[in-house]
Structure 1
Amino acid sequence: MTKINIERLMKNIESLGTIGENAQGGIDRALGSEADVLARRWLMEYWKERFHRETKVDAIANMWLHVENGEDRKAIVLGSHHDSVPNGGKYDGALGVLMATEVVETILEQNIKLKHPLTIVSFTGEEPNPYGISTLGSKALAGRIRKDQIRNYFHRDTLENLADGIQRLGGDIEMWEKIPGKEEIGSYLECHIEQGKRLEAMDLPVACVSVITGIYREQITVTGEANHAGTTMMECRKDALLGACEVALAVEAVLLELQDKDIVGTVGYIKNMPNEANIIPDQTTMILDVRISNEEKKLEMQHQINERVKAIEAKRGVRVHRSVILNQPAQPMSEVVIRAVSQGIRQTGLQPEQLISMAGHDASNVAAMADSGMIFVRSIDGKSHCKEEYSTPEDIEACANAMLRAVQILDEEMAE
């Protein structure tokens, strides 16, 4: 049975992982940074050395390596992204690009004949970045952002316009119409670390992704009355911060009562006014982030939060204003790709479990234009977006071998 070269793959992970490494051992490789430029150069040089082909950089600076086979069919595209969060790890995103590279190398080395051409992609700016837009490259690919919108984004520190940043990376938004489209891409498969502990709990190295979660966000502003912290009796207070705390705890209670392990919520941003030790807060703003894929449960969640907020307003004498700032539905993965990945996992002797991705990924955008899917590899301790993120070579090898088989299955089952 054909297997990938795990020693080569791990060497590449370590090599790319030195680009953008900081003094704390994490990686700083944000969109447009010098480390982004160097990582792109490393990938293009490696691809040219191994595949003897030039990398194509599209209008939004996505990088594409095409391996043609003489047949006029849509491509099987493999990849992810190479940028990182601040002080991130060397697996998130980069592993997907390097595993795609290894799978294609193995197919060519072993002379495995396929009907469809193969393409490796590294998407531009998947992570949140100083320009303020994430999954940028795949959004452009899927038509979820327009050329004229690009000039509305500026780097928060340097004030560089995003269009100019893209040009520095080899892109050119004036070539927007030449970004690859539905005519060229038949299917997309992305490997990613799980970024959670579910695979650890199941003692499995890999899983197939069935759905990429929906994301629901509210900005919640609680308004009370400012007053002297020492002279205002407890029963006379209209404390916005304590009202906001009750709202946050009420949301937690509602989510727990839904009894669904694939629903999680966070209040990760809070702004308190006037934010002084001796003044009762009169306005507190926070952002609620909920990852939820079940639309019926989302409606139930909204109803229950409404009821609890009314009770908090009456109890504390505050006003609560809520506005939905994001209501992104869940994105199911393609049944064709799910079957191929599940069969690929089974062929390696493992149980093909399916998981909901609780984080967003480029695969969600690509799904708008082509059959799209993902395969997860176990994250040790569930760590991600930190320097401690880690997946073992054994798990990575199992995932890459399953992906190799999934590509061959996809090649047989794709319609075009």
Structure 2
Amino acid sequence: MNSDDPAYTSTELADEDFLADFHHTSVYGATEAGGIDRQAGTAEHGAVRAWFRQRAEALGMTVTIDGIGNQYATYGWFPGEPTVLIGSHLDSQPLGGRFDGTYGVIAALHAAARVNHEVTAGRLDPAHNITVVDWFNEEGARFAPSIMGSSTMVGIKDLDEMLAVTDVDGVTVKEALDSIDCLGTDPAPEVAAYAEVHIEQGRILEREQITIGAVTQSWYTQKLLVAVKGEQSHTGATIMSDRHDALVAASKIVLFTEDVVENFEPEKIVTSVGQFTVYPNSPIVVPREVDLVIDLRASRTQDVLDARDTLKRQIADLAAERNIRIDVEDYDIRDIQHYPLDGVELTEKASADAGVSCMRIETMAGHDSVAVNRIAPSVMVFIPSVDGVSHCEREFTTDADMVAGVTAFTQIATRLVTGALDGTAPGEPVADATSERI
């Protein structure tokens, strides 16, 4: 199919095409429980990325790949000129959901095709090209850190350092990209503006019965790398008073991490321990060490800092009480990013024109738009998630909400290619607003 195909003269058929493409992507890395497992640089990830290239070329786009494996599919009406970048990512968490990231890529692919049809039909006069991006390794499940491809493209991360990152088996990012034919040499495009549509991964839109979320800001986030160091000993021969059990202490830290949220306003801070490694992990050995990662996120920076200080005090007291060593290191600190107010208002107007409801909302999770917003005015858009569930196989968004999202997102893309955010600075502050709606 190309942009002149009769399917793009009918909204109903275009919607069916979108749904067919989206649901097709679920065969790559499909799991028995209806999710996907497509970690970055795996064969499954390579297969869906190859399909993306073929589909984009069939729609008349030119595909390039940069040095960190980001894929760009472009309608180049003005060769060599800046482009409006739209998209998301196709990699997943282990046993993850089939909507996270993938929806944004396929929605962008179809929005771009619809915009191109209007341009070639003479009904739209663009000021910029349009490019659909499939970012590499947004999830960070196999290779840390997350948001790797977009962060490298905008200059936050060093390319050579990221290519040298290894997974648990010692495979480098460079080797993984080469294995799936995604180690490119093409330059990244110059970005005039960026837009990303994504499932919410929370339940605010569902709870408020709103179709589109216009994202105003990201949350402040940081991690704590914690190494609990006790002493290895025999579980059967060592009396309880002589033990220096790293696992018991680490378990208390997990509870500290959950309980610290009680000190703050409800729904304004989240905490978790998502990674937990025990050594030597033998059934007859008292653990000598546990490494864990604490994840702290909040709407207000000070809340994260206060939670961090409370946890560090509790951990220091625990180490003294149990006569063990606990090392705590700050890691992966990400400041709040405010999205430009002009982009938020653009989303509200586009939603109104598309006939769907819209409210302002904050993003608790990180996204590629947080990185790109540092170099170009960026728009972040949410659609509802059923039960607010994400990063698991039960993740779900209805076809109706996905189609409505594509319709609104096409309106956003149309405005961007005609220069709606030209002159807008990246990351302009906006007031905290989580309940405004139209």
Alignment TM-score > 0.5, same fold: yes
- In structure 2, relative to structure 1, the CA distance for the partners of 1:219 and 1:67 (3 Å cut) is same
Give the structure 2 partner of residue 20 of structure 1. 29
Give TM-score scaled by structure 1 length. Answer: 0.85
Once the 2 structures are TM-superposed, how far is the Cα of residue 19 of structure 1 from its aligned partner? 2.4
- In structure 2, relative to structure 1, the CA distance for the partners of 1:50 and 1:259 (3 Å cut) is same
Give the structure 2 partner of residue 334 of structure 1. 340
- In structure 2, relative to structure 1, the CA distance for the partners of 1:126 and 1:223 (3 Å cut) is closer
Counterpart residue type for residue 259 of structure 1: E
Q: Give, in whole Å, the separation in 2 of the partners of 1:293 and 1:269.
A: 23
Q: How does 1:168-317 map to 2 (within 5 A)?
A: 168-172=179-183, 175=185, 178-180=186-188, 184-223=190-229, 239-272=245-278, 283-313=289-319, 315-317=321-323
Give the structure 1 partner of residue 113 of structure 2. 105
Contact 1:216 1:292 in 2 (8 A): no
Contact 1:292 1:330 in 2 (8 A): no
Contact 1:340 1:407 in 2 (8 A): no
Once the 2 structures are TM-superposed, how far is the Cα of residue 247 of structure 1 from its aligned partner? 3.1
1:118-167: CA deviation from partner (whole Å, max 9, x where unpaired): 1111112222254445333212211123333245234544x554324334
Once the 2 structures are TM-superposed, how far is the Cα of residue 31 of structure 1 from its aligned partner? 2.5
Once the 2 structures are TM-superposed, how far is the Cα of residue 40 of structure 1 from its aligned partner? 2.4
Give the structure 2 partner of residue 414 of structure 1. 421
Q: Give, in whole Å, the separation in 1 of the partners of 2:278 and 2:117.
A: 60
- In structure 2, relative to structure 1, the CA distance for the partners of 1:116 and 1:153 (3 Å cut) is same
Counterpart residue type for residue 95 of structure 1: Y
Helix, strand or coil: the match of 1:413?
coil
1:59 to 2:63 alignment = no
Once the 2 structures are TM-superposed, how far is the Cα of residue 222 of structure 1 from its aligned partner? 3.8
Once the 2 structures are TM-superposed, how far is the Cα of residue 98 of structure 1 from its aligned partner? 0.9
Once the 2 structures are TM-superposed, how far is the Cα of residue 395 of structure 1 from its aligned partner? 0.8
Counterpart residue type for residue 354 of structure 1: R
Q: Give, in whole Å, the separation in 1 of the partners of 2:420 and 2:162.
A: 37
1:163 to 2:170 alignment = no
Helix, strand or coil: the match of 1:37?
helix
1:285-323: CA deviation from partner (whole Å, max 9, x where unpaired): 432111234222222223323443454455545554322
- In structure 2, relative to structure 1, the CA distance for the partners of 1:248 and 1:339 (3 Å cut) is same
Once the 2 structures are TM-superposed, how far is the Cα of residue 10 of structure 1 from its aligned partner? 0.6
Helix, strand or coil: the match of 2:17?
helix
Give TM-score scaled by structure 2 length. Answer: 0.82
Match among 131, 140, 143 for residue 128 of structure 1: 140
Aligned pair count reads: 408
Segments of 5+ residues of structure 1 without an aligned counterpart are none
Q: Give, in whole Å, the separation in 1 of the partners of 2:242 and 2:134.
A: 58
Identity %: 25
Once the 2 structures are TM-superposed, how far is the Cα of residue 94 of structure 1 from its aligned partner? 1.4
Give the structure 2 partner of residue 7 of structure 1. 16
Helix, strand or coil: the match of 2:226?
strand
1:396 to 2:402 alignment = yes
Q: Give, in whole Å, the separation in 2 of the partners of 1:275 and 1:57.
A: 42
1:47 to 2:59 alignment = no
Q: Give, in whole Å, the separation in 2 of the partners of 1:346 and 1:148.
A: 45
1:93 to 2:104 alignment = no
Once the 2 structures are TM-superposed, how far is the Cα of residue 23 of structure 1 from its aligned partner? 4.4
Q: Give, in whole Å, the separation in 2 of the partners of 1:308 and 1:160.
A: 37
Helix, strand or coil: the match of 1:31?
coil
Q: Give, in whole Å, the separation in 1 of the partners of 2:285 and 2:197.
A: 51
- In structure 2, relative to structure 1, the CA distance for the partners of 1:315 and 1:407 (3 Å cut) is same
1:29 to 2:73 alignment = no
Q: Give, in whole Å, the separation in 2 of the partners of 1:281 and 1:118.
A: 55
Q: Give, in whole Å, the separation in 1 of the partners of 2:210 and 2:65.
A: 37
Match among 359, 369, 372 for residue 353 of structure 1: 359
Helix, strand or coil: the match of 1:15?
helix
Once the 2 structures are TM-superposed, how far is the Cα of residue 226 of structure 1 from its aligned partner? 6.4
Worse-superposed segment, 236-245 or 89-98: 236-245
Once the 2 structures are TM-superposed, how far is the Cα of residue 192 of structure 1 from its aligned partner? 0.9
Segments of 5+ residues of structure 2 without an aligned counterpart are 1-9, 424-438
Q: Give, in whole Å, the separation in 2 of the partners of 1:161 and 1:170.
A: 14
